[in-house]
Chain A
Amino acid sequence: MILHSGPPAYQRWLALILIAIGWFLFANLAGATVDRVREFPGWSNFLVFSLENSDSTYLNERSEVVQFSSRQSSPTATAQIVRSIISTDTEAPSRRSSGTTPTSVFNQEIFWPPICGQSGESHFNQIGQRGEITRNIRIRTSPSNTSGTEIISGMSFVIIGPSRCAIPNGYSAEMLFLNVRLVGVSNNRTGWIPESGIGSSGTIVYNVYPSR
């Protein structure tokens, strides 16, 4: 009498290989999906458990929110050093202007920094240019301010003045801030918004894009 003892060996091996490929694909997709989800407005802190961001962590919207609560209460040693170096309203010179542009010229001329320390290439270089906000960010009264009103993605804005490179108080990353007026808001709020930052994967993440 012959008893059926299950599928042939080659089928088992084939199934095992396929299952291994499936789990490998899942592992990769899971990480990539969570990263992508974090790029959506309101999801920037999704599954971010570490509150001990090192000061070398580049500033992005995720770390900005986390550091917001942790740094204000207990800044790390490096943060204190950075704060002592940076005055309360210091605006850092841009990468291209540092060392070459005299301070007087920098202050007197309208200068549009094309890039800052930890930002991407700017897409904005003229007053009146319109743009759209694609991630949840804060609009601040000054580039060096860490606090501000949160604005959600989907809103539009108009550039009302030259952008600036600045290191917000308590941070070690230099960002490019746009001087904007929000469109469609009842009180026509004006302020400064960060154009871009460096995400967790080390790539530039843009918070705003020019309108088409």
Chain B
Amino acid sequence: MQHVSLAALLQNTRNYNQMPIFLQQMLKRSVWITLFTESALLLLFVVVPTESFIFRVTEGGFFLIGADVINSILEFGYRALPYLALINLVNMFVTLLVISISLGMLLPVRIRFHYLAVANAIPTGASMLSMAFVVFLLVLAFAINLIIWFFIISIVLGIIGALLGGG
């Protein structure tokens, strides 16, 4: 039996734990979340019919104000969709690469793959944030119109109530 000294053993070992444990755990979660987010976004992009992307609103119906702003936001989203989809597609490839190399996060990997995973999470996070911002603006425009309608209905009901009470 050949005996190896601890010093020799250490010289021949690779240090994979160059990152704090809690960061590693966060990174693992981030990779899985990125994968699921990308898959869901791409599935939505593929499944939703093209006609839905060109949906526009007109003033005069529910939307009393801000139809132009809403249409501009929708148009911006429509123009940005191909870029977002392709970025997500590339990201999904990188994510799957990281997961394959680490065998589903079961095996330790070199530090460069940790950096790759971090870099990979950034565009997905950015696209999610931008989409969330666009949705927020749309919801805001919807809410403003809803409030206006609420005031209009309140005033009309108030006038009717005053007329009936006065009569």
Residues of chain A having any CB pair with chain B under 8 Å:
6-7, 11-12, 14-16, 18-19, 22-23, 25-26, 29-30, 32-34, 36-37, 39-40, 43, 46, 132, 134, 153-154, 209
Contacts and interface: CB of A to CB of B under 8 A. Distances in A.
SS class of chain A's interface: helix, strand, loop or mixed? Answer: helix
A15 to B, nearest CB: 3
Interface of B: 35, 39, 42-43, 45-46, 50-51, 54, 75, 78, 81-82, 85-86, 89, 92-93, 96, 99-100, 103-104, 106-107
B82 A40 contact: yes
19 contacts: A6-B106, A6-B107, A7-B106, A7-B107, A11-B104, A11-B106, A12-B106, A15-B104, A26-B92, A29-B39, A29-B42, A29-B92, A30-B93, A33-B89, A134-B50, A134-B54, A153-B54, A154-B54, A209-B51
Contacts of A25: 39
Given A6-B107, A19-B99, A22-B35, A30 B89 contact: yes
A154 B107 CA distance: 51
A26 B93 contact: yes
A73 B134 CA distance: 46
Nearest to A35: B46
A29 B46 contact: yes
Contacts of B50: 36, 39, 134
Contact of A26 (B46, B54, B81, B96): B96
A33 B103 contact: no
A189 B106 CA distance: 63
Nearest to B104: A15
A201 to B, nearest CB: 12
Given A23-B96, A29-B43, A37 B86 contact: yes
Contact of B99 (A22, A37, A132, A209): A22
